[in-house]
Amino acid sequence: MKLNFIFVGKTGHRDMGRLIKFYADRLARFTRIEIKTVREEKITSSKTPELILQAEGKRILDATDPSDVLVVWDSSGEMMSSVEYAEVLGAWERQGIKRVSMVIGGPLGIGSEVKKAAQKIFSLSPMTFPHDLARVIVLEQTYRAFSIIRGIPYHK
Ligand SMILES: C[S@@+](CC[C@H](N)C(=O)[O-])C[C@H]1O[C@@H](n2cnc3c(N)ncnc32)[C@H](O)[C@@H]1O
């Protein structure tokens, strides 16, 4: 099963960029991964937040395939433990799902078109994290989930 991470906009903080690479490299030992960064729409006074999210949403959906399981990460989504997350990913792997696309939004979040298209909306917490940090946590939790699935002693 391949994991296709879709990020909106560049990683701003150099240290977060290092941590993203750190966890992405570890995760890649367990499963195939790809990270795609789609362009963040410039915020100007002539564009409403809805228009910005629509433009970014089109880029996000263009980076997915209709056959993907689409997961959106959003603070309003479904919360679960690391073990429950591992159970979800493990079940998809056993079912032979070819690719899971995981979307982490930009500063304005993720628009309604992408949320409507998603099979799952997952939350890390009801709190809002900066997008750079959300990328690190999602990658770390996905690495943790695969260490649980593969029986590697990382999760205590
Ligand atoms: C700065 S946040 C967006 C904030 C935006 N005002 C909103 O309400 O969605 C950027 C991205 O980080 C991710 N994110 C931040 N906090 C999160 C959380 N608690 N759970 C899941 N994803 C989160 C989401 O993908 C979000 O689109």
Predicted pLDDT at 155: 79
Ligand 1 pocket, 130 CB below 6 A? yes
Q: Is residue 22 part of a domain?
A: yes
Q: Which amino acid is at 119?
A: Q
Ligand 1 pocket, 128 CB below 6 A? yes
9: CATH? 3.40.1280.10
Q: Is residue 154 part of a domain?
A: no
Report how far ligand 1's centroid is from the alpha carbon of 131 (Å): 6
Complex ipTM more than 0.85, yes or no: yes
Structural domains in the chain (count): 1
Q: What tens digit of pLDDT does each residue of 26-68 get?
A: 999 999 999 999 999 998 999 999 999 999 999 999 999 999 9
**DSSP per-residue string spanning 115-151:** HHH-SEEEES-SSPPPHHHHHHHHHHHHHHHHHHHTT
Q: Is residue 156 part of a domain?
A: no
Distance between the two ends of the chain, CA-based, in angstroms?
A: 25
Q: Which domain holds residue 6?
A: 2-40+48-149
Report how far ligand 1's centroid is from the alpha carbon of 151 (Å): 30
Average predicted confidence (pLDDT) for the chain: 97
Q: Is residue 52 part of a domain?
A: yes
- Site to substitute for ligand 1 among 10, 43, 74, most atoms within 8 A of C-beta: 74
| Three-class secondary structure of residue 51 per DSSP | helix
Q: Is residue 155 part of a domain?
A: no
